[in-house]
């Protein structure tokens, strides 16, 4: 099963399980089924609760807030993550505020899901990783699945069980990836925290103790695991990965626990470096450590995402960047 099918199944199960679930988005009706086909089949099966909308991102997220305040569980699809900027007021000043400013008299069980990320040549306004704009907004939960768990289960949990607003970020390149179970990764040992949005720890099976902790989320997870293998087999440097699915609010505990063993942190994200997710992850984890860890970051260059393939490759971080960041520290004598 691919990620797109998993997400579709999560939506279908949610709509089937609870009549208060409604789905709204642009171009979501069959046979088109949404720009990335996540909604395919839904409007045929649930014609009264799947609403195709005008091109009005602020309007439809606002509609979702109102629906949520009055007893429904709306799911709003924003066609590209870049367009969530248009709904920023609705997310920040309405969705994230009503529970708080009503002194908890009301709740807003709204899920907004959207594809983020580049590597498809869509250019500067359709390739961004704007996650950071919505991180650290009190009252708004931000989560991002990867393909080493079932994203549809995570989505259905968010829709059916959450009482507060949630932004669900799906990297575009995940859609066509196969959903893998931990058993499908014979090279790695893994454990997974409890909860709806688990933190996974991945270490190489049979490897010596790790001297680096890599932390990441979303699509970069696969690249980080590849880098871990390459560093081990080609350079005899051993790392473990702490992979988040809940980006905000951020819980540094599992990251700090890993750093207590390794002492070296590399944050890896597709968004541009400055003021990114990695900055907060590093600061929060370092604050939770007794010994200050070495901190390095891998991220996109601080420039818009270009359209042309070679330029885009240069701006966005890849496996090589992770490997090189670690090798650079060894060359300086600060990393093994």
Partner 1 sequence: MIIDRDPQTLYRHMLRIRTFEQQVLDWFPRGLFYGTTHTYLGQEADAVGVMTALQQGDVVVSNHRCHGHFLAYGGSMEALAAELMGRQSGVCAGRGGSQHIQWRDFYANGILGGTLPLAAGMALAERAADSGRLVVAFTGDGALGEGVVYETFNMAALWRLPLLIVLENNRYAQSTPIELNLAGTIAGRFAAFGIPMVEVETTDVEQIADTATALAEEVRQAAGPAALVIHTYRYGPHSKGDDSRDPAEIERHRQDDPLPLQAARLDPATLAEIEGQVTAEVEAAFQAAAEAPPAAPEALTPALEAMV
**Minimum separation from the CB atom of position 320 to partner 1 (A):** 36
Q: Is position 71 an interface residue for partner 1 (rule: CB under 8 A)? A: yes
| Longest CA pairwise span in the chain (Å) | 63
The smaller minimum CB distance to partner 1, of residues 11 and 63, is found at 63
Binding-residue total with partner 1 (CB under 8 A): 39
What are the CA-CA distances from residue 172 to residues 7, 92, 120, 275, 285 (Å)?
12, 24, 8, 23, 28
Among 54, 186, 310, 333, binds partner 1 (CB under 8 A): 54
**Minimum separation from the CB atom of position 97 to partner 1 (A):** 7
Inter-residue contact 130 to 105 (CB < 8 Å): no
Q: Is position 74 an interface residue for partner 1 (rule: CB under 8 A)? A: yes
Q: Is position 136 an interface residue for partner 1 (rule: CB under 8 A)? A: no
Q: Is position 142 an interface residue for partner 1 (rule: CB under 8 A)? A: no
Burial class (CB in 10 A: 0-12, 13-18, 19+), 165: buried
Among 31, 70, 310, 332, binds partner 1 (CB under 8 A): 70
Q: Is position 146 an interface residue for partner 1 (rule: CB under 8 A)? A: no
What are the CA-CA distances from residue 10 to residues 92, 135, 262 (Å)?
26, 24, 37
The smaller minimum CB distance to partner 1, of residues 123 and 139, is found at 139
Among 7, 11, 15, 72, binds partner 1 (CB under 8 A): 72
Helix axis angle for 220-235 and 319-332, nearest 10°, is 40
Q: Is position 94 an interface residue for partner 1 (rule: CB under 8 A)? A: yes
Residue 267, φ and ψ in degrees, nearest 5: -90, 140
Q: Is position 210 an interface residue for partner 1 (rule: CB under 8 A)? A: no
Q: Which stretch binds partner 1 (CB under 8 A): 10-18, 45-53, 204-212, 224-232?
A: 45-53
Helix axis angle for 253-262 and 277-287, nearest 10°, is 70
Q: Is position 226 an interface residue for partner 1 (rule: CB under 8 A)? A: no
Q: Which stretch binds partner 1 (CB under 8 A): 86-94, 222-230, 254-262, 304-312?
A: 86-94
The smaller minimum CB distance to partner 1, of residues 68 and 259, is found at 68
Inter-residue contact 108 to 162 (CB < 8 Å): no
The smaller minimum CB distance to partner 1, of residues 63 and 210, is found at 63
Question: Mask: binding to partner 1, 231-270, rule CB under 8 A, as x and -?
Answer: ------------------x-x-------------------
Among 17, 101, 308, 331, binds partner 1 (CB under 8 A): 101
Sign of the Cα torsion 307, 311, 317, 319 reads positive
DSSP string, 6-74: HHHHHHHHHHHH-TTEEEEETT-STTT-STTSTTTTHHHH-TTTEEE--S-HHHHHHHHHHHHHTT-EE
**Minimum separation from the CB atom of position 33 to partner 1 (A):** 21
Residue 232, φ and ψ in degrees, nearest 5: -70, -50
Inter-residue contact 203 to 245 (CB < 8 Å): no
Q: Is position 15 an interface residue for partner 1 (rule: CB under 8 A)? A: no
Is beta strand 264-272 parallel, antiparallel or unpaired with respect to 294-300?
parallel
Question: Tokens 């367009």 correspond to what residue?
Answer: 83
Enumerate binding residues for partner 1 (CB under 8 A): 22, 49, 51, 53-54, 56, 58-72, 74, 89-90, 93-94, 97-98, 100-106, 138-139, 249, 251
């Amino acid at each position: 099963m691919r990620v797109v099918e998993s997400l579709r199944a999560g939506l279908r199960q949610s709509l089937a399980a609870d009549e208060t679930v409604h789905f709204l988005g642009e171009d979501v009706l069959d046979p088109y089924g949404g720009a990335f086909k996540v909604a395919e089949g839904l409007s045929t099966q649930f014609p009264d609760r799947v609403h195709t909308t005008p091109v009005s991102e602020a309007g439809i997220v606002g509609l979702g807030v109102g629906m949520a305040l009055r007893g429904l569980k709306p799911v709003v699809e924003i066609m590209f993550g870049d367009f969530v900027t248009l709904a920023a007021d609705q997310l920040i000043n309405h969705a994230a505020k009503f529970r708080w400013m009503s002194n908890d008299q009301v709740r807003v069980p709204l899920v907004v899901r959207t594809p983020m990320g580049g590597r498809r040549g869509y250019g500067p306004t359709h390739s961004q990783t704007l996650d950071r704009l919505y991180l650290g907004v009190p009252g708004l939960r931000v989560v991002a699945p990867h393909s080493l768990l079932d994203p549809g289960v995570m989505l259905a949990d968010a829709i059916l069980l959450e009482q507060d607003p949630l932004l669900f970020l799906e990297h575009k390149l995940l859609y066509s990836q196969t959903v893998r179970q931990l058993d499908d990764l014979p090279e790695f040992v893994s454990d997974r925290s409890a909860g709806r949005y688990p933190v996974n720890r991945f270490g190489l099976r049979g490897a010596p103790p790790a001297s680096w902790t890599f932390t990441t989320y979303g699509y970069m997870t696969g690249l980080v695991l590849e880098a871990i293998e390459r560093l081990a087999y080609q350079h005899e440097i051993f790392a473990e990965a702490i992979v988040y699915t809940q980006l905000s609010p951020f819980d540094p505990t599992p990251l700090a626990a890993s750093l207590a063993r390794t002492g070296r942190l590399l944050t890896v994200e597709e968004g541009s470096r400055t003021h990114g997710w990695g900055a907060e992850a590093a600061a929060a984890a370092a604050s939770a450590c007794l010994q200050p860890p070495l901190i390095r970051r891998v991220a996109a260059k601080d420039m818009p995402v270009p359209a042309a393939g070679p330029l885009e490759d240069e701006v966005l971080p890849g496996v090589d960047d992770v490997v090189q960041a670690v090798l650079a520290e060894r060359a300086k004598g600060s990393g093994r």
